[in-house]
């Protein structure tokens, strides 16, 4: 069930701005993403969608405006600090460790849970071994869920584009974030795998992960996203279901009649 429109948002963007030289890539952008939702983010090429994701994730710093995650301002935080709050992002091209196996890639995504301190390996070795064993059990479960278990000993670099994307989703599920920003999850994926991509994203969401997804494949967006945000010329111009948005003149103009100048 989709979250109510008036439910407390997990992500709030207010009057966000980013300029690159003479190009205003994001301009007074304001939007909200409801906790527990799968929300689409669409717009013509150059509308500022990827720049927005880069700003929200801490990959870039805004020139002005506010980003709140779970009520906490995060616009000044570095990317690794944003991720530790439970906000992760993907890129248009899946990023794996190609020289490591699928299982090894999974284990690198394990939440620290206090295991990032070297002293624990010396003072609590039994506890550390138990945690590592539990990680392997959980990794195997997720690889089965995302149909990659038979490839667990395969080098990740040998996977197809769709398999790499599924591995990325499995690693996100393992990391257990509160929210993930997906930048064109269909990019580089064979269209015949669309059903598996839909199931994978729904599985993430069913596990409690809020999803904001940039995607140009509008039928794919419509299958997944009860609510869709539209960007054009660096700002959010509309929000609603895709069926509702199809009847709005400004949305049609953004796709069919405007020369966008954002990034």
The pLDDT tens digits for 46-77 are 999 999 999 999 999 999 999 999 999 999 99
Confidence of residue 262 (pLDDT cuts 50, 70, 90): very low
For the chain, the domain total comes to: 2
Residues 18 and 80 in one domain: yes
Rounded distance, CA 210 to CA 176, Å?
11
- CB 84, CB 209: distance < 8 Å: no
- Return the pLDDT at 110: 81
Check whether residue 90 and residue 197 sit in a common domain: yes
- Same-domain pairing of 91 and 199: yes
**Rounded distance between C-alpha atoms, residue 109 and residue 168, angstroms:** 10
Domain that holds residue 196: 9-96+178-256
Is 214 inside any structural domain? Answer: yes
251/126 same-domain check: no
The answer to whether residues 187 and 162 touch, using CB atoms and an 8 Å cutoff, is no
Task: Examine the pLDDT at 237 and tell me if it is beyond 80.
Answer: yes
Question: Are 102 and 87 contained in the same domain?
Answer: no
Same domain, 79 and 134: no
* 115 and 85 in a common domain: no
The whole-angstrom separation of Cα 29 and Cα 12 is: 10
Asked if 88 and 130 sit in the same domain, the reply is: no
Residue 169 domain-assigned (yes or no): no
Q: Are residues 190 and 86 part of one domain?
A: yes
Buried b (16+ CB within 10 A) or exposed e, 163-197: bbbbbbbbbbbbbbbbbbbbbbbbbebeeebbebb
pLDDT number for residue 253: 84
| Same-domain status, 129 and 249 | no
- The answer to whether residue 242 scores a pLDDT higher than 70 is yes
CATH of residue 245: 3.40.50.300
Residues 203 and 110 in one domain: no
Asked whether residue 193 is domain-assigned, the answer is yes
Among residues 3, 20, 99, 59, which one has the least CA distance to residue 181?
A: 59
Is 138:132 a contact under the CB 8 Å cutoff?
Answer: no
Same domain, 27 and 76: yes
Domain assignment present for residue 166? The answer is no
DSSP letters spanning 135-180: HHHHHHHHHHHTT-GGGTTSBGGGS-HHHHHHHHHHHHHHH--SEE
């Amino acid at each position: 069930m989709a979250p109510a429109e008036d439910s407390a948002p997990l992500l709030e963007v207010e009057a966000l701005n980013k300029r690159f030289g003479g190009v205003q890539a994001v301009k007074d952008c304001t939007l909200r993403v409801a906790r527990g939702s799968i929300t689409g983010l669409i717009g013509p090429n150059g509308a500022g969608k990827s720049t927005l994701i880069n700003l929200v994730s801490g990959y870039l710093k805004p020139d002005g405006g506010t980003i709140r995650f779970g009520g906490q301002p995060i616009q000044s935080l570095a990317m690794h600090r944003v991720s530790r709050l439970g906000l992760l992002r993907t890129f248009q091209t899946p990023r794996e460790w190609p020289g490591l196996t699928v299982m090894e890639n999974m284990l690198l995504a394990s939440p620290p849970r206090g295991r990032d301190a070297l002293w624990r390996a010396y003072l609590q070795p039994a506890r550390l071994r138990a945690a590592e064993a539990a990680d392997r059990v959980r990794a195997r479960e997720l690889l089965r869920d995302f149909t990659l278990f038979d490839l667990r000993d395969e080098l990740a670099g040998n996977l197809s584009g769709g398999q790499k994307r599924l591995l990325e989703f499995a690693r996100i599920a393992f990391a257990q974030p509160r929210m993930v920003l997906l930048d064109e999850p269909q990019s580089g994926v064979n269209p015949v795998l669309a059903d598996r991509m839909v199931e994978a994203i729904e599985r993430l969401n069913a596990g409690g992960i809020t999803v904001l997804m940039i995607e140009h494949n509008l039928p794919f967006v419509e299958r997944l996203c009860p609510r869709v945000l539209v960007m054009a010329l660096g700002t959010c111009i509309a929000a609603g279901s895709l069926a509702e948005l199809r009847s709005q003149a400004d949305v049609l103009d953004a796709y069919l009649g405007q020369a966008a100048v954002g990034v």
